[in-house]
Chains A and B, each alone.
Chain A
Amino acid sequence: MVNEERLRHMLKISEFDTYEDKGCKPMTQYARKDYISLQMIKSFIMGTITFFLIAGLWCLYAVDMLMKLVNSMDYKDTLTTVLTLYAAFMVLYLGATYIVYQMKYTAGRRKVKSYYSNLKQVNQMYERDERLKNAGGTDTES
């Protein structure tokens, strides 16, 4: 006979395996600090590329003005401005990364915990069944 209680737990386990396993895998492999750090490193690289893409787009847009200013430009001032803008952009981008991945880790970890709780319940049910089976077998022999 199908054990409905066990079926319910198995359903949850299978649901996790099918739909959440891939997304929640990092939550079983990394501590929060390591996970967030990894994402921050990825975001640092992507953010830097994005900033230079935006800067490139602006250069294309203002190429005429830049050509006129190229001789009279104070390079130190320009570099300071670019670095300040870069820092501001990165603070925003890394800040968003930190918040988003904190939330993702918390949600993922909650799912993983529920998964292991179901796994534990099913394990206990099987062990109980096994014990009952063995006890029945011993009774029959005696």
Chain B
Amino acid sequence: MAALLEMKERMIRFYGKHEFWLKPIARFLIALAIFMCINQNIGYMSRISQTPIALILALVCALAPVGLTVFLASAVILLDMYALSLEVCLVTLILILIIYFLYFRFAPKNGYDMVLTPLCFQCGIPYVMPLAMGLLRGWYSVFSVMAGTVLYFFLHGVHENATVLSSAAEVEEGTVSKFVIVINQLVDNREMYLVMGIFVLTTIIVYIIRRMAIENAWAIAIISGVLFETIGLIAGYILLEIPDKMVWVMVGNLISILIAFVLQFLFFNLDYSRTERLQFEDDEYYYYVKAVPKAIVSGMDKKVKRFGSREDHLTKKKFAEEMGIDEELLD
């Protein structure tokens, strides 16, 4: 254990020292994985589904905020769908807009959570996402897991039915239209509802237990989450009569539990991911400060602060009074 802690200390020091480079590199790798995954599975437009294009896009994403990664990934998906057929492209556009309006309206900074979910699905370990979200994020992260799950199952369904959906395929008289086939990937996908329901409940279970004032709350949360996920999914797959997925549920959950414990080891004691570099000055000095905050597991904050009973328009005077400062400080 001492050796592990020492290694962790070294990792923290290394991260603190090279944070300036490590962050863009991590963003680059995540973006590259996303674009390569899109190219491999739904790369129907050969012009953009090439490794050099993926590398260029990932490089742009490395230097830009997360919003751009989500936007570029959406754009690439739409172009691929357009190459497949106009109907699929239209439905995908509507789906992306719905996700944007329903989800990003409330949590615009959580783009990575949503794009990582389909990526984990592709790697065969989607079970790690509810655990990670419950451990590292708030209850609202269930929405990112839901959005990511819907997107994955939709694109997976399109991939599976690509031959029928392609522009070349003609719709015969009496058969269902391409719109119906593509929307059925959402409406008539019972596996998607099962996985989404189990993931939402797992995220909430992990989040609630992790915040409990009990010893080893994180470990108990991880184990409970994995047990619920495994049993729930296996039971669901039996009910849906998809037995061939049960073995991978167990293997995937075993891998996920290992990843979750690595996350606990890395994030529980010291939150070095929030290392901050600040620069300011006063009359006598320039300050270049690097602050590495200690991880504090705060309890439930039940204190409700109300700012005034009357809710009039905000004036400078009123604001200064409320903040307990001189009005001149606001000039």
Contact = CB atoms under 8 A, between A and B. Distances in A.
Secondary structure type dominating chain A contacts:
helix
Q: How large is the interface on A (under 10, 10 to 19, 20 to 34, 35 or more residues)?
A: 35 or more
A31 B325 contact: no
A28 interface: yes
B179 interface: yes
Interface residues of B, number: 39
A14 B329 CA distance: 16
B314 interface: yes
A46 B101 contact: yes
A96 B101 contact: no
A34 B208 CA distance: 33
Interface in B279-313: 279-280, 282, 285, 287, 289, 291, 304-305, 307, 311-313
B106 A31 contact: no
Contact of A15 (B106, B291, B312, B323): B291
Given A10-B282, A14-B278, A63 B106 contact: no
Contacts of B319: 28
A19 interface: yes
A83 interface: no
B183 interface: yes
Interface string A57-101: 100110110000000000000000000000000000100110010
A11 B278 contact: yes
Contact of A14 (B90, B280, B323): B280
Contacts of A116: 323-325, 329
A63 B179 contact: yes
B29 to A, nearest CB: 24
Interface string B313-325: 1100001001111
Contacts of A11: 278, 287, 289, 291
27 contacts: A7-B287, A10-B287, A14-B289, A29-B314, A31-B311, A31-B312, A32-B307, A32-B311, A34-B313, A34-B314, A43-B105, A46-B101, A56-B94, A57-B91, A60-B179, A61-B184, A63-B179, A64-B180, A96-B106, A106-B304, A113-B322, A113-B323, A117-B324, A117-B325, A119-B325, A119-B329, A126-B282
Interface of A: 2, 6-7, 10-11, 13-15, 17-19, 28-34, 42-43, 46-47, 49-50, 53-54, 56-57, 60-61, 63-64, 93, 96-97, 100, 106, 109-110, 112-113, 116-117, 119-120, 123, 126
Given A7-B287, A54-B98, 17 more contacts: A6-B282, A14-B278, A15-B278, A18-B276, A19-B276, A31-B311, A31-B313, A32-B307, A53-B94, A53-B98, A60-B179, A61-B184, A63-B177, A97-B105, A106-B304, A116-B323, A119-B325
Interface of B: 90-91, 94-95, 97-98, 101-102, 105-106, 177, 179-180, 183-184, 187, 276, 278-280, 282, 285, 287, 289, 291, 304-305, 307, 311-314, 319, 322-326, 329
